[in-house]
Amino acid sequence: KGQDDAASRRKQCEARERDNDHLSDLLAKRLQSIEVRQAGLDEAAFAARLDRREAELADAELATAMLEEERGAEEERRRQTLAAQRADEEFVRALLAEERRGRAGAPPGAEEGA
């Protein structure tokens, strides 16, 4: 009977160890699942932040490029306006010079009849 009790206790002890091992395995798997999920969330959050930063950077670069293009276009418009003003001034000077030459070479009183 003593051997039966010892064998019974051994079997119970082995069963508890198996149950404990099984519970340990379940807990380990659960913790691993939580860690994996948390890591996935962390990765997703990091990727979202990274995507947001990349989008902000791309927007800033686009805005800078558009501003530079607009400044270049404005500078070109100023150059064209200045060139047109200079051309107009030259034309007026040429007309005045032509008119002076015409008066200088015309007989007296020729302007009055014109």
List the domain range (segments joined by +) for residue 100: 2-104
The pLDDT value recorded for residue 102 is 84
Contact, 111 vs 103, CB < 8 A?
Answer: yes
Question: Is 67 a domain residue?
Answer: yes
Question: Is 33 a domain residue?
Answer: yes
Task: Tell me the mean pLDDT per 10 residues along the chain, length 114.
Answer: 79 84 83 78 74 85 91 94 96 93 70 50
Residue 107, Cβ density class (10 Å: 0-12 exposed, 13-18 middle, ≥19 buried): exposed
DSSP characters over 34-82: HHHHHHHHHHHHHHHHHHHHHHHHHHHHHHHHHHHHHHHHHHHHHHHHH
HSE-CB of 76 using CA atoms within 13 angstroms: 6
Residue 83 in tokens: 């060139």
Question: Is 110 a domain residue?
Answer: no
What whole-number distance in Å separates Cα of residue 25 and Cα of residue 23?
Answer: 5
- Segment 90-103, tens digit of pLDDT: 999 999 999 998 88
Number of domains in the chain: 1
Question: Is 75 a domain residue?
Answer: yes
Question: Is 57 a domain residue?
Answer: yes
Residue 55 in tokens: 């989008």
Question: Is 113 a domain residue?
Answer: no
Question: Is 61 a domain residue?
Answer: yes
